[in-house]
Structures are given as structure tokens and as C-alpha cells.
């Protein structure tokens, strides 16, 4: 079933989306325009490949047709088609993305089925600098709070319990064998769990990878979650980010580890309904793809 939106209905939604994200990102975008790197937020646009301009563009999602002259801006975008009714996401694009949608569905189902593990204490960032040379630091312009020797000592005193392959793969060669279990891409679905900050951040990744099949309201919700998770991630990191306005979570202390677990629990609780919505959207897309194939 297709929903047809007249300009008076979809143009205000497009404007609300842009205003919502501009309000969140304005200070960062101003800093970026002046060529100043940001050790926390840059990650959301470098590791994650969606650009700010792409994020700011509103999409209605599969099954919605936009009408009126302004809809012409979507006609040339990847994944759209123009019909007599207006402009909408293309069922052929949906068919081409079926394998990705199936993978995301399987991953989200597996993640949802497991209890949250909350004992990693954000040590993945520490493992990424363990026994490395100063010149090889990922954020070489930002000092380590405890220095190199102190950072290494924390890694050696606490068990690495990372469950997310895309964090684990950036561990230094010396840190990789210290993880409770080795991780591989092939077993990601088997190990992903809902307490992981990176699993929460990746909800945003799956949203933008499935653009324009998903609505931008969900993408914005998941981006805001990723934004909050990245802040917690880096506050618990070994870096001294006080000059950037971030108070450290000192996970090298019992009090700091307790603070991290509280923050991690809040993010896990916040991610659960978004994961459920995204999973539902993916299942609906698979169903829509089957219906289109059988026509």
C-alpha cells in the first residue's frame, strides 16, 4: 500500500528534520567549516560514511510518494523513481538491497535475543593504543590522561571483554590476544549483544545504508543515539578531552567503572526500542520485496 503526500504535508516534515539535526550539529559544523578537527564527533562522519549534507536531507521511506514541484529534487537521487503519481523509492532498488536487508534483519534479531553484557568498561579505546608508539595514536593531537605507561597498565589490569568485531579489529597487535575471545567478521551475528555501545551506534549505520528505503525520522533518532554513545565512548577513553569540554569517566577506578556501567545501561535501554523499530522496518521491506517479485 502506497501513501501519497501532498506538498503541504511533506514539506513541513522535511523542514522539521533539517531543523532538528542542524540544532544538534551547528557548533560542530561551524568548527568543521574552519578546518578544525573534532576528536569525538568527526568519527560520526569519517568512520561512518554518511556526510552531514546527506544526513540533513529528509527521506519519506519506501511506500510513500511525494507530489508537487519540490519533489523533483528527489527524482535524480539514487533509489528513487518518477511515476505518474509523483516521486517515490524504487521497488527495483529495494530488490537490489535485499541481501543487505536480510543481513541486517538477522543481525538485529540475534542481538535482540541476547541479554546485555555490561562488563567491558569501554576498554576497546584503550586496547587501540596499547603498547603503541606516540606517533601511531589515532588522536595524536590529544594527550593520554595517564600517559603511555599508565594506559598500558590499565589494559593489563582489566580483562578485555569486547564483543564487537568492528571495535576489536582496531586493537593493536599486542592487545588482540588479551581479549576474552578472538572475534571475526564471520561470527559477528553470533556475538553481537545489546549492551555494546558500538552495536547501538551501528543502528545509525544500518539506517543510512538502507536510505532511501527507511524514513529519516528513524535515521535521525538513531543518529542522536549514536551521538550520545560516541560521547560516552570517548569520555571513558584514555584520552584527555577536557579542552574539548568532556569530563572523563575514569574507568581505571571502581567509581569510574560503576559510572560507565550506568551510562552503558541507559544507552542499552534507549537503543532497545529503536532496534525494535528498525527490525520491524526491515521485516516490512522484505515482505514488500516479496510482494513486488510475485507481481
| Residue 82 neighbours by CB under 8 Å, 6+ apart | 75
- Over the stretch 234-267, which tens digit does the pLDDT of each residue have? 999 999 999 999 999 999 999 999 999 999 999 9
Q: 133, exposed or middle or buried, with CB in 10 Å at 0-12, 13-18, 19+?
A: exposed
Residue 58's nearest CA partner among 11, 120, 117 is 11
Question: What confidence score (pLDDT) does residue 99 get?
Answer: 97
Question: What confidence score (pLDDT) does residue 190 get?
Answer: 94
Question: What confidence score (pLDDT) does residue 141 get?
Answer: 81
Mean pLDDT across 108-117 = 97
- Whether 43 shows a pLDDT value over 60: the answer reads yes
Euclidean distance between CA atoms 7 and 10, whole angstroms: 5
Question: What confidence score (pLDDT) does residue 117 get?
Answer: 95
**Could you tell me the pLDDT band of residue 95, with boundaries at 50, 70 and 90?**
very high
- Over the stretch 184-211, which tens digit does the pLDDT of each residue have? 999 999 999 999 999 999 999 999 999 9
- Whether 25 shows a pLDDT value over 90: the answer reads yes
Give me the residue label for grid cell 535475543: 113
Lowest mean pLDDT among 31-35, 51-55, 67-71: 31-35
Whole-prediction pTM = 0.95
- Whether 139 shows a pLDDT value over 90: the answer reads no
Cell numbers given for 258? 560503576
**Could you tell me the pLDDT band of residue 38, with boundaries at 50, 70 and 90?**
very high
Question: What confidence score (pLDDT) does residue 249 get?
Answer: 98
What is the chain's mean pLDDT, rounded? 95
- Whether 294 shows a pLDDT value over 70: the answer reads no
Cell numbers given for 122? 569501554
Domain boundaries, the chain: 39-62+91-293
Question: What confidence score (pLDDT) does residue 291 get?
Answer: 75
Torsion on CA atoms 175, 177, 183, 184, rounded to nearest 10: 100
Amino acid at each position: 500500500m502506497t501513501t501519497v503526500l501532498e506538498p503541504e504535508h511533506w514539506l513541513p516534515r522535511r523542514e522539521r528534520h533539517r531543523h532538528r539535526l542542524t540544532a544538534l550539529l551547528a557548533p560542530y559544523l561551524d568548527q568543521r567549516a574552519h578546518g578544525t578537527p573534532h576528536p569525538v564527533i568527526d568519527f560520526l562522519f569519517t568512520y561512518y560514511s554518511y556526510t552531514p549534507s546527506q544526513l540533513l536531507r529528509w527521506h519519506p521511506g519506501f511506500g510513500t510518494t511525494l507530489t508537487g514541484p519540490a519533489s523533483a529534487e528527489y527524482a535524480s537521487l539514487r533509489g528513487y523513481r518518477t511515476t505518474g503519481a509523483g516521486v517515490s523509492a524504487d521497488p527495483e532498488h529495494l530488490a537490489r538491497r535485499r541481501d543487505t536487508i536480510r543481513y541486517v534483519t538477522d543481525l538485529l534479531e540475534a542481538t535482540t535475543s541476547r541479554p546485555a553484557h555490561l562488563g567491558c568498561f569501554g576498554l576497546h579505546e584503550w586496547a587501540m593504543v596499547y603498547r603503541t608508539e606516540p606517533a601511531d595514536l589515532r588522536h595524536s593531537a590529544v594527550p593520554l590522561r595517564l600517559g603511555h605507561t599508565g594506559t598500558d597498565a590499565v589494559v593489563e589490569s582489566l580483562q578485555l571483554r569486547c564483543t564487537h568485531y568492528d571495535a576489536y579489529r582496531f586493537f593493536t597487535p599486542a592487545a588482540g590476544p588479551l581479549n576474552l575471545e578472538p572475534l571475526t567478521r564471520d561470527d559477528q551475528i553470533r556475538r553481537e549483544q545489546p549492551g555494546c555501545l558500538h552495536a547501538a551506534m551501528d543502528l545509525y549505520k544500518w539506517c543510512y545504508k538502507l536510505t532511501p528505503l527507511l524514513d529519516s525520522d528513524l535515521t535521525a533518532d538513531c543518529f542522536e543515539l549514536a551521538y550520545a554513545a560516541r560521547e560516552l565512548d570517548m569520555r571513558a577513553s584514555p584520552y584527555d578531552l577536557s579542552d574539548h569540554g568532556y569530563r572523563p569517566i575514569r574507568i581505571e577506578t571502581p567509581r569510574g567503572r560503576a559510572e560507565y556501567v550506568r551510562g552503558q545501561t541507559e544507552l542499552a535501554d534507549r537503543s532497545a526500542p529503536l532496534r525494535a523499530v528498525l527490525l520491524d522496518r526491515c521485516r516490512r521491506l522484505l515482505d514488500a520485496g516479496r510482494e513486488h517479485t510475485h507481481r
